[in-house]
């Protein structure tokens, strides 16, 4: 028997009722660009939240759209259009990580941290590659750096001094 799916509807939600489940630090130049764009043309895409926050006093957990939400706050807004989904905390966190990884210009450190969380959730390199659209070889290289605790190499990758493939080879040598 075919299961009926409810079409997601956009609701206006008080920003103060939203807990950021997977917070990220923003590049201020990019943030100002988002806020200016929203101020000029409005919000083009609603945020995604899940009902039933894990934070005390909040009704929703933010799944996707932290930058948009923070930009609306900077513009003085009290409510935000949101799609409310039915998801567990783990599913919501995974959706958030995958959306962050899908960005074209993510910082290497953000990528490494997101992949580390996915690995801790029990995903292997192949599963992570399938979820992110990255190659298994690339994911494997990242996981080597994380496994070996190579903070200096991670910093070198983050600063653009060396590519991640070279850092992984260095970390994997005796």
The pLDDT mean for the chain works out to 80
Q: CA angle 129-132-133, nearest 5°?
A: 75
User: 132: buried, middle or exposed (CB in 10 Å: 19+, 13-18, 0-12)?
Assistant: buried
Note if the pTM is more than 0.85.
no
Q: What is the DSSP string of the chain?
A: -PPP-PPP-EEEEEGGGEEESS--PPPHHHHHHHHHHHHHH--SS-EEEEES-SSTT-SEEEEE-HHHHHHHHHTT-SEEEEEEE---HHHHHHHHHHHHHHSTT--HHHHHHHHHHHHHTT--HHHHHHHHT--HHHHHHHHHHHHHT-HHHHHHHHTTSS-HHHHHHHHH--
The tens digit of pLDDT for each residue in 4-47 reads: 445 667 899 999 999 987 777 777 877 788 788 787 778 888 99
Beta strand pairing call for 18-20 and 60-64: parallel
Higher pLDDT, 76 or 138: 76
pLDDT at 7: 60
């Amino acid at each position: 028997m075919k299961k009926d799916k409810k079409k997601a509807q956009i609701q206006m939600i008080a920003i103060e009722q939203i807990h950021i489940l997977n917070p990220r630090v923003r590049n201020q130049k990019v943030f100002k660009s988002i806020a200016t764009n929203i101020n000029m043309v409005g919000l083009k895409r609603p945020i995604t939240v899940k009902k039933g926050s894990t934070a005390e006093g909040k009704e929703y957990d933010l799944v996707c759209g932290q930058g948009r939400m923070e930009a609306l706050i900077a513009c003085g807004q009290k409510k935000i259009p949101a799609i409310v989904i039915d998801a567990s905390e783990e599913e919501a966190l995974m959706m958030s990580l995958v959306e962050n990884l899908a960005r074209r210009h993510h910082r290497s450190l953000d990528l490494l941290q997101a992949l580390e969380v996915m690995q801790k959730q029990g995903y292997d390199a192949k599963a992570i590659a399938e979820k992110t659209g990255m190659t298994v070889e690339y994911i494997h290289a990242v996981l080597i750096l994380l496994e070996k605790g190579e903070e200096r190499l991670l910093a070198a990758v983050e600063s653009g001094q060396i590519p991640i493939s070279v850092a992984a080879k260095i970390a994997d040598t005796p």
